[in-house]
Structure 1
Amino acid sequence: MSIIESLKNYLATCPELSDKEININYLSQKPDSFTISNVAKDPIVKRYVSGETIRQYCFLLVGRIAYDGDLESNLAISDFFEIFENWIFAQNEAKVFPDFKDMELVPIAIEVTKGGEVLDTARTSARIQFELRLLYKGKN
């Protein structure tokens, strides 16, 4: 299993996403769909004299959610942002990470590096995005 596939399975355990469609590198036009896409960044965050490294896997969670421009829709989006970010924080605090056992990497943290934002809106949906990163100890 790849890192991105493990992240997909992990994010599907979030109560706010558990009943939503989550794809990899593809966002459907229908509301309540999400995608995970990797972001090109230098994978090495820190290199130790021993040769061990701390690495990062940066990714986006992009979603399309129901939206009609009224106050209730705007509040629902804001609530989603807050709930998702708090879930990531709580998972980090509890050291609950994706399953990477078969990949010989040890997760250290998953962080929201840029909070939720509305990218654009249409008549019936809004496209939203979070930037995140997985920090892990990797193979030498």
Structure 2
Amino acid sequence: MQDGKKPIIQSIRNYVMTYPDIDDRKINIDYLGNGMEYSIDPIGADPIYKRYVDGSCLKQFQFAFTSKEAYDGDARTGIANSGFYQDFAEWTEQNNLDDILPELDGHDAIRVDVLQSGYLFSTEEDLGRYQMICRLIYK
């Protein structure tokens, strides 16, 4: 790692780990294993969110927050899984209002946005892959 700075993805992972309803499953980066796990996956996007006339800018880091959850086609299971992502989105909104943001080395976090609410992305035999698209705005 150059100049000892913590990567932004690590700061996002640390932030997600503070979500009160996260359980003791692994939180991976760019990897979702065969069991019930979480992953934070960077998404390729223009790093410049907004450019100002003075040359300064706001930057963005887009990522998918994914998980594998129990999936059996039952409405109760689907409601619980979707509810987790709805609660996570509401938690990030409240954190933005309370100025509770990822701690970045060398940058100042401004907010975490949910760009696409959590949804069932794909299914396997007894697991469903859920995904939510987010972005961190920082300067």
Q: TM-score, normalised by structure 2?
A: 0.91
Q: CA deviation at 1:19?
A: 2.1
Quick one: distance in 1 between partners of 2:76 and 2:50?
Answer: 44
The residue number in structure 1 matching 2:3 is none
Cα deviation 1:21-74 (Å, max 9, x = unaligned) = 10001101101x111111111111222233221010011111101121112211
The residue number in structure 2 matching 1:129 is 131
**After the TM superposition, which parts of structure 1 deviate over 4 Å for at least 4 consecutive aligned residues?**
none
The residue number in structure 2 matching 1:52 is 56
1:24 aligns with 2:26: no
The residue number in structure 1 matching 2:74 is 70
The residue number in structure 1 matching 2:16 is 11
Q: TM-score, normalised by structure 1?
A: 0.90
The residue number in structure 1 matching 2:122 is 120
Please state whether the residue corresponding to 1:74 is helix, strand or coil: helix
For structure 1, list consecutive stretches of 5 or more residues without a partner in the other structure. none
For structure 2, list consecutive stretches of 5 or more residues without a partner in the other structure. 1-5
Q: Which amino acid aligns with 2:112?
A: I
Please state whether the residue corresponding to 1:87 is helix, strand or coil: helix
